[in-house]
């Protein structure tokens, strides 16, 4: 059985395990939906005061918001194993069990849990739909493809951040807090168009943690706008590739972490 | 033929030295000081196909480190090790596909899933051919009497039931080598007996090589024909269990019951070890007095009702051995 098929088997097991606790599933999803809905009210309130933000209308910001949140929600569901890797695998020694099985470590950690949380995704989808209809976004096949490619890049980037977080736990048990700054902080930052930020912060979000590449630049292309920051139009739809590059780099650092575990153990 | 070959295995860990107090913790962040701990200081042994070896030693002696290296989890600092021709840490994926490992304190099954679902997942993880899997699984289910447990979620099983499932789970891919780490820990007496019986059967009837780590010396007594004793990172003894026992405690024992209170016995070469009402445990040196002569001497002078020759308890042998080698808990 190849890796993809095995992953699907892991997913099936995880879903069945979670369905042992159906009420918890409902409560957590409802809570997540309302939790993130409050954030939108915050954004909307901001517009009530300023009208437009750096040339972007409320509808356009809603599209930025929807895309980055949807990407994060999609990445958050399958990467639970990496997120809790420090406390659940390293500290408990459960990573030994991973090493005892004839499969790659990353696949097994990925297979740990598919978290069934639809609250954030639903909410992101609603905001996106409202924003898209407000700016009369056209959904040609090319546009749909660009959206999917943008989301895929975003999922890759957030997964990469979580892989890095997990890797960090081979060295320190306090990796979670550091990585939360990057994931949740990244989502927060990516909700607004990049040109609202100071130059150094834009550079950080473009070249170091390329949130801008999976949210801002491709969404500018999606909206059919030209980039107020001056990025050439042909480059905009290509930038989500950096999300995949980031994930690839994160996975090679992961291998260093696994090797380190082999020399020190839990 | 040797299935496991270990030569001069060394493992040193580097641990951060923590300085006391808050100031020490802050200084530790900036400039860590390290201390080397030598967990294995040159360990060599070989295990042949089909053997059942007890691997024992006090806590911190290097047992787990050795097992972790043999099973591909850890990489040694020096020395060599091959299992079935593979270097465990270099060929991890190929190596672990051929071994089975049971940790008594951890589960390898899926806590919220029925046992059978976990077995099916293991089939796919280990790429076991479905027809072959069904046959092996049914055999194991029969052997370990798991039938009624298969549909229960793992979290609802008792510890003894779970351990039987764990051993079955470790055998689904038909490994030729099984590592058992504390397989009877926390089990009640009947469950311990059941687990020992299963392990014995797997070894005898299926020819599975077993390396058994345990603190329960009854496990060793019931199963192991050979013991490897490790202490402070070196092998202290590696011999058949009987030879080990005889070497550590040359004395032999008789337990005698008398009609009336147990008497004081003064025969050269004989020492009293325990007394309880009408019963007396005596140790004797077979080089100075043979068992029949001793029994005859006691029967001649005292109202003897029953007498039996016993072996010293293995716990006592081990304790004596650790004392001799200064190998108490590290």
Model confidence over B64-81: pLDDT tens digits?
899 999 999 999 999 999
Residues of chain B with Cβ-Cβ distance to A20 below 8 Å are 112, 153
Question: Measured between alpha carbons, how far is A163 from A258 in angstroms, rounded to an integer?
Answer: 12
Q: Do A1 and B73 touch (CB under 8 A)?
A: no
Question: Measured between alpha carbons, how far is B313 from B315 in angstroms, rounded to an integer?
Answer: 5
Q: What is the pLDDT of residues A149-198, one digit of tens each?
A: 999 999 999 999 999 989 988 887 666 677 777 778 888 888 888 888 88
Task: State residue B273's pLDDT score.
Answer: 85
Task: State residue B327's pLDDT score.
Answer: 60
Task: State residue B330's pLDDT score.
Answer: 46
* Residue B19 C-alpha, separation from nearest chain A C-alpha, in angstroms: 18
Q: Do B126 and A93 touch (CB under 8 A)?
A: no
C-alpha gyration radius of chain B: 24
pLDDT over 90 at B129, yes or no? yes
pLDDT over 60 at B83, yes or no? yes
Burial of A191 (0-12, 13-18, 19+ CB in 10 A): buried
Question: What are all long-range contacts of B82-91, with beta carbons under 8 Å and residues at least 24 apart?
Answer: B82/B4, B82/B5, B83/B3, B83/B4, B83/B5, B83/B177, B84/B3, B84/B176, B84/B177, B89/A262
Q: What is the pLDDT of residues B288-306, one digit of tens each?
A: 888 888 888 888 888 888 8
Share of chain B above pLDDT 90, in %: 41
A110 contact partners, CB below 8 Å, separation of at least 6: A7, A10, A78, A79, A81, A82
According to CATH, the superfamily of the domain at B50-75+85-246 is P-loop containing nucleotide triphosphate hydrolases (3.40.50.300)
Tell me which residue of B126, B16, B11, B122 sits closest to B68, measured CA to CA.
B11
C-alpha gyration radius of chain A: 19
The residue-averaged pLDDT of B168-195 equals 90
Residues of chain A with Cβ-Cβ distance to B106 below 8 Å are 93-94, 96-97
* CB A63, CB A104: distance < 8 Å: no
Task: State residue B30's pLDDT score.
Answer: 67
The residue-averaged pLDDT of B151-169 equals 90
Cβ pairs A/B, distance under 8 A: 69
Q: Do B68 and A96 touch (CB under 8 A)?
A: yes
Q: At which residue do the structure tokens 């575990």 appear? A: A261
Q: How far is CA A261 from CA A98, A111, A233, B130, in A?
A: 12, 20, 45, 34
ipTM score over 0.85, yes or no:
no
The residue-averaged pLDDT of B235-257 equals 86
For chain A, list residues with pLDDT below 70: 43, 46-51, 173-176, 266
A238 contact partners, CB below 8 Å, separation of at least 6: none
Q: What ranges do the domains of chain A cover?
A: 3-264
Residues of chain B with Cβ-Cβ distance to A103 below 8 Å are 93, 125
Task: State residue A50's pLDDT score.
Answer: 65
Taking all residues of chain B, what is their mean pLDDT, rounded to a whole number? 87
Among the residue ranges A126-130, A151-155, B223-227, B268-272, the one predicted with the least confidence is B268-272
Q: Do B75 and A20 touch (CB under 8 A)?
A: no
């Amino acid at each position: 059985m190849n890796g993809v098929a095995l992953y699907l088997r892991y997913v099936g097991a995880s879903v069945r395990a979670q369905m042992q606790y159906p009420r918890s599933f409902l409560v957590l999803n409802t809570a997540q939906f309302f939790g993130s809905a409050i954030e939108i009210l915050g954004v909307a309130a901001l517009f009530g005061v300023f009208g437009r933000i750096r040339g972007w209308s409320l509808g356009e910001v809603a599209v930025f918001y929807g895309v980055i949140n949807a990407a994060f929600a999609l990445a958050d569901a399958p990467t639970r194993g990496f997120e809790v890797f420090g406390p659940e695998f390293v500290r408990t020694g459960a990573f030994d069990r991973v090493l005892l099985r004839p499969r790659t470590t990353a696949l097994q950690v990925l297979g740990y849990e598919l978290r069934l949380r639809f609250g954030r995704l639903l909410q992101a989808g609603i905001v996106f739909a409202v924003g898209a209809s407000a700016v009369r976004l056209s959904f040609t096949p090319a546009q749909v493809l660009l959206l999917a490619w943008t989301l895929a890049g975003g999922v890759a980037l957030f997964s990469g951040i979580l892989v890095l977080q997990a890797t960090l736990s081979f060295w320190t048990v306090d990796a979670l807090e550091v990585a939360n700054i990057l994931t949740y902080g990244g989502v927060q930052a990516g909700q607004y168009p990049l040109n609202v930020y100071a130059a150094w912060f834009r550079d950080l979000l473009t070249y170091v943690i390329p949130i801008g590449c999976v949210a801002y630049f491709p969404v500018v292309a999606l909206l059919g706008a030209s980039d107020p920051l001056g990025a050439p139009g042909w480059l905009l739809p290509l930038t989500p590739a950096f999300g995949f590059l980031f994930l690839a780099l994160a996975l090679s650092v992961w291998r260093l972490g696994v090797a380190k575990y082999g020399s020190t153990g839990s | 033929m040797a299935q496991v070959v270990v030569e001069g295995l060394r493992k040193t860990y580097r641990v951060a030295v923590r300085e006391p107090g808050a100031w020490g913790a802050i200084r530790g962040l900036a400039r860590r000081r390290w201390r080397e701990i030598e967990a294995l200081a040159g360990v060599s042994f070989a295990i042949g196909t089909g053997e059942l070896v007890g691997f024992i030693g006090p806590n911190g002696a290097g047992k787990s480190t050795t097992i972790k290296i043999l099973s591909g989890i850890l990489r040694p600092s020096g020395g060599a090790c091959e299992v079935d021709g593979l270097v465990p840490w270099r060929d991890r994926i190929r190596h672990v596909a051929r071994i089975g490992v049971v940790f008594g304190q951890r589960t390898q099954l899926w806590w919220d899933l029925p046992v059978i679902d976990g077995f099916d997942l293991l089939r796919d993880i280990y790429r076991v051919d479905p027809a072959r899997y069904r046959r092996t699984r049914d055999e194991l289910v029969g052997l370990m009497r798991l039938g009624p447990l298969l549909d229960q979620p793992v979290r609802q099983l008792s510890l003894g039931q779970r351990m039987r499932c764990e051993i079955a789970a470790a055998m689904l891919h038909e490994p030729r080598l099984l590592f058992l780490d504390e397989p009877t820990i926390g089990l009640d007496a009947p469950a311990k007996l059941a687990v020992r019986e299963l392990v014995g059967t797997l070894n005898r009837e299926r020819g599975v090589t077993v390396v058994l780590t345990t603190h329960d010396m009854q496990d060793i007594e019931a199963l192991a024909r050979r013991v490897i004793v490790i202490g402070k990172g070196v092998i202290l003894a590696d011999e058949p269990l009987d030879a080990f026992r005889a070497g550590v405690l040359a004395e032999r024992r008789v337990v005698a019951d008398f009609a009336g209170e147990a008497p004081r016995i003064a025969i050269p070469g004989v020492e009293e070890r325990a007394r309880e009402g009408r019963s007396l445990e005596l140790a004797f040196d077979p080089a100075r007095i043979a068992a029949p002569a001793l029994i005859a001497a006691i029967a001649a002078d005292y109202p003897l009702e029953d007498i039996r020759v016993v072996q010293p308890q293995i716990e006592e042998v081990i304790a004596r051995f650790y004392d001799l080698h200064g190998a108490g808990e590290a």
